[in-house]
Each structure stands twice: as structure tokens, then as C-alpha cells.
Amino acid sequence: MKLDDQLLKFEIVDGSVICKINIEDLVWAFEHNINSNPDNMPKIVKGKEKEFAKYVIEYLMDEDKNNGNNTNWSTPFENCFEEILESAEEFYIEPYDED
């Protein structure tokens, strides 16, 4: 399975979920993020794109300030898992329903 119609690309390969974003797309996402002032869009300095990407990676790997038991990258997964638990998706079996 491969989903590549957005900036963040996903693929399931050999039992792994691969998530990928090109540095160019990451820069674009930053420069066009919804919190930016449209009259004064932020820009990443030319030649500093990898440094910017490294900062983003370090942020994602860092501890979540709201929940010290999680990293910043885990928040979207936690939100998704909560939705699965609340929606009773077909692939989810409640512990007391195991057959």
C-alpha cells in the first residue's frame, strides 16, 4: 500500500510503515503554515534547509511538554489510537471480546 498524494508520503513495506517527507516539502509546509502572517510569510535561509530539517527531527524526538511520557512525534498516533478505541473499528477487538 502506498499513499503519496500529499506532502507526507506513507507506505507499508515488509511489515513496516514508512513515513517520508522531502526537505523541500517540509520547507514549503513551514513557509505556508496556517499560523503565518500571509503578508509576511516566513522563509528558510537558502542553504540552511538541512539544518532546518534537523531541528524539526530533534523537536519530534524531544519529550512532549504536555505529557512527559511521550515524544512529540507520538501525539498524532495517540490521537489516532483514541479515535480507534472510541469508534470500535472492525480490526479492533475489545479485551473482553476476544474469541
Give yes or no: residues 92 and 72 share one domain.
Answer: yes
Task: Kindly state whether residues 78 and 52 are assigned to the same domain.
Answer: no
Residue 37, pLDDT score: 76
For residues 13 and 54, state if they share a domain.
Answer: yes
Digitized pLDDT (tens) for each residue of the chain, 99 residues in all: 899 999 999 999 999 999 999 999 999 999 998 887 778 888 999 999 999 999 999 999 999 888 778 899 998 998 998 888 888 777 877 676 555
Q: Both 34 and 55 in a single domain?
A: yes
The letter for the amino acid at 24 is: E
CA distance 50 to 57: 10
Domain that includes residue 91, residue range: 65-99
pTM above 0.95, yes or no: no
Instruction: Give pLDDT, residue 62.
Output: 94
The set of cell numbers assigned to 7 is 506532502
Note whether 11 and 31 are same-domain residues.
Answer: yes
Are residue 51 and residue 6 in the same domain, yes or no? yes
Say if residue 70 is in the same domain as residue 33: no
**Cβ-based neighbours of 19, under 8 Å, separated by 6 or more:** 8, 9, 10
pLDDT given for residue 99 in this prediction:
54
